[in-house]
Structure formats: structure tokens, C-alpha cells
Amino acid sequence: MLRKIASTLLALTGLLIGLGAFGHSFMGRRALDAGLASLPIDVHTDKLIYLVWYFCGGCMLVFGALVIWSAWKAMRGEKGALFASGLVGAFYLLVGVLSLIDMREPFWSVFVVLGTLALVLSGLLGFAPAGRHAASRADQPLA
């Protein structure tokens, strides 16, 4: 039961990380547009900033998908995939803490919370015993 609850919470954490990509790429773009409008930057630099902006949004989507995939594997009793969700969690936690310290903006606490959830739930699932039938389910092909 613990494995199922923790896996579900981890999948929801991954969903929030993935949905953050859309908030970042589309809603956050307005703030970026306003900030860049007053700066005297050349066209190449302007394009490069937007390229990196959307790349980061894509990374958030991929990170979310990795966490969801890890949760799905963990629910089936496979622990190897938890390394990916733990790594994403550690990265989000580190970025959140360092950004909070440097910028002192409460927004970065979202990264701290999501990173902590992904890291703690991955660790918990790594130590939680697999169910009685987890090994046999893991070997079955998807229907």
C-alpha cells in the first residue's frame, strides 16, 4: 500500500514538474518580453535568449516525464528507474535553494517543494519492499 501511495504522489509530482513547462514557456514569456523590451540587445542575442528560454521549458517537460516514468516503474516494483526521479529531485532542490538564497523571491520555493517531494518519494520507494507479485508483474508484457 505504501508503494502505491508513494508512487502515485511521485507521479503527481512529475505531472506538476511537466506542467511547469507550459507556465514557464508561455506565461513566463510575457515577463521576459517586458524585461527585454527596454534593453539594447542585438537580434542574435535576442533570438538566443528565447531559444534558451524554450529549451528550459522543454527540459522541464522531459524532467516531468522522467519522474512519471520512474513512478510507473516503481509502482510495478522496479527500483532502477528511481535514479532518474531522484536526480531530477536533487537538481530541482538545488536550483530552488540556491535561487532562493540569491534572489530572495518566494517563487523559487516551488522548486524546493517539488524537488524535495521527488527526492524523498524516490528514496522512500527505493527502500520500500516490493509487493508479493511485483517481480512477476514486471516481467509481463504490456497488454
Task: Convert the pLDDT of each residue in 62-116 to its tens digit.
Answer: 999 999 999 999 999 899 999 999 999 999 999 999 999 999 999 999 999 999 9
DSSP line for 24-35: IIIIHHHHHHHH
Tens-place pLDDT, residues 120-143: 999 999 987 766 555 555 555 554
pTM equals: 0.85
pLDDT of 51 over the 60 cut: yes
Cβ 61 vs Cβ 15: under 8 Å? no
Name the amino acid, one letter, at 98: L
How deeply is 101 buried, as exposed, middle or buried, from its count of CB atoms within 10 A (0-12, 13-18, 19+)?
A: exposed
DSSP element (H, E) containing 66: helix 43-75
Question: Can you tell me the distance from the alpha carbon of 67 to that of 21, in angstroms, rounded to the nearest whole number?
Answer: 14
How deeply is 40 buried, as exposed, middle or buried, from its count of CB atoms within 10 A (0-12, 13-18, 19+)?
A: exposed
Give residue for cell 542575442: 45
pLDDT of 26 over the 60 cut: yes
